[in-house]
Chain A
Amino acid sequence: MLQRIGYFARETWNSLIRNWAMTVAGILVIAVSLLFLGGMYLNRQRVNHYNVRWRGGVGAEIFMRVDASQNEIGDVRAALDKDRTAEGLVKNYVFLDHAAALAEFQRIFRDDPETVRSVTDASALPESFRLKLRDAKLVDAVDSRYKIMPGVDEVVSPKKEIHQKLDQAAKTGIALVVVSIVLALAAVVLIVNTIRLAIFARRREIEVMKLVGASNWFVRVPFMAEGLVQGLLGGLLAAGGVYAIKWGYEQWFYERGYYITSGDAILAAIAVVFLGGILGAAASAVGLWRRLDV
């Protein structure tokens, strides 16, 4: 058994090396295709995490400055209470103190222990009021009334922002998926071609193998492995790319409230490697179709 695995590994490796230009092309196209897919997923998750904030009909969130005093917070609370009348702006509100903010932070990043550990001091997170508005149209009024109060950092409302972001994410998502499918097809065609070339290069050996009675699987496995290896290598590259996207986003494009968690990255990375394997195997199957029959 070990002897066979050694044989298959050697044959596959030789074949990949002998035709290295095609091999590299196949791997790269698969990698780029899967990277688009992974990037789309990360972008969607980024927006989804932001959405968590606005679940349960929350209409606006007033962020206090991290260093806001108890008095300033009290003043905002008093103003909100005054606004909670029949003709006021606010239907209801919840106050998230440092501890609650930390708890939510830990919940969002629950699969990201490193990030969770990096924030031990709850007071580093701003306190906030989450408001349910009497009418969604009152967002602007809330914004102008509370933004100017002392100790308030900013008023964030989901309406314009969320819809814009969701829309944007959906549109780029569709575009990325289309590009990714086209590239995946190109990758499959490339790998099919690579395998046919490999079969052609080894046709004399294959002929003799068949004559002396090598089993059909024995003849096929190295070629199947060839496609699979290309797919998996492409997937691994794409997985690296997924982490690069996460890192780059955090370095250069970070927007408040939009997170990519490690959990998202791990899932995306596993998915692209898996998909790479499937693409490679499928390409092998097409490449071998009716080629190595008895």
Chain B
Amino acid sequence: MIRFENVTKIYKGDVVALRDVSLDVQKGEFVFLVGPSGSGKSTFLKLLLREEVATSGKIIVAGRDVSRLGAWKVPLLRRNIGCIFQDFKLFPNKTVYENVAFAPEVIGRPRNVIRTQVPQILDLVGLNHKADAFPGQLSGGEQQRVSIARAFVNRPLILLADEPTGNLDPATTAGIMKLLDRINRTGTTVVMATHDEGIVDAMRRRVVELDHGSLVRDQARGVYGVGT
């Protein structure tokens, strides 16, 4: 599903963000991407979305060679990838329903499809009863659920999560992780960048660690800290 072959990314001014990273993620895997700030996690995610282009090496996502993708095909790549973020990126002036419906709307899904899919996905994240609320009226955990619903409503093959629990308390975090686990069980590949040791240790999933741009660990059922 995701394949990095000797990928190096150097930003302007000789900042090496990723150094010769090779990685293979199968369909349906759940992968934690860990490492300190500046280790290259964000660059990794940006390369997957083709917000950035690798300096050298090859990246294959969902069968497409990302670096060779023409500009007009990038949107098609991104339709296979859902994204959630620490700051949710919800629209404060749209209701929960409208926030979620925005994703299928802007890729041109027919209205009747949107009308059936959005309630389904709100059901999945447990927010059907708040469909008409505005993000400002929701708790942080609920807002992240809305953002997960928006990322998943188009049924992407891959879900990228960039510190999705960074703003949430432990109890809420557990709920979000349960939801991500559930989405993973539908066959969706999940890549989650995080600092949260507790989650990584509790989930016991594949852990990929980056340090100063290099891949220093790739463990099938790992924990956050090395050797613990």
Contact = CB atoms under 8 A, between A and B. Distances in A.
B106 A212 contact: yes
A3 B111 contact: yes
Interface in B16-74: 49-51, 71-72, 74
Contacts of A219: 106
Contacts of B72: 215-216
B75 A214 contact: yes
A213 B107 contact: yes
Interface in A205-221: 205, 207-216, 218-219
Contacts of B79: 212-213
Contact of B103 (A212, A216, A218, A294): A212
A57 to B, nearest CB: 64
A89 B80 CA distance: 92
B13 interface: no
Nearest to B94: A205
A205 B108 CA distance: 16
A293 to B, nearest CB: 7
B78 A211 contact: yes
A63 B111 CA distance: 74
Contacts of B75: 210, 213-216
B182 interface: no
B74 A7 contact: no
17 contacts: A204-B89, A207-B89, A208-B103, A211-B78, A212-B78, A212-B106, A212-B107, A212-B151, A213-B76, A213-B77, A213-B80, A213-B154, A214-B75, A214-B106, A214-B107, A215-B107, A218-B108
A215 to B, nearest CB: 5
Contacts, number: 62
B91 A204 contact: yes
Most A Cβ at <10 Å: residue of B105, B106, B111, B151: B106
Contacts of B134: none
A4 interface: yes
Nearest to A207: B89
A294 B74 contact: yes
Contact of B71 (A204, A205, A208, A216): A216
A207 B51 CA distance: 11
Contacts of A215: 72, 75, 107-108
B83 interface: yes
B71 A293 contact: yes
Interface in B78-108: 78-83, 89, 91, 102-103, 105-108
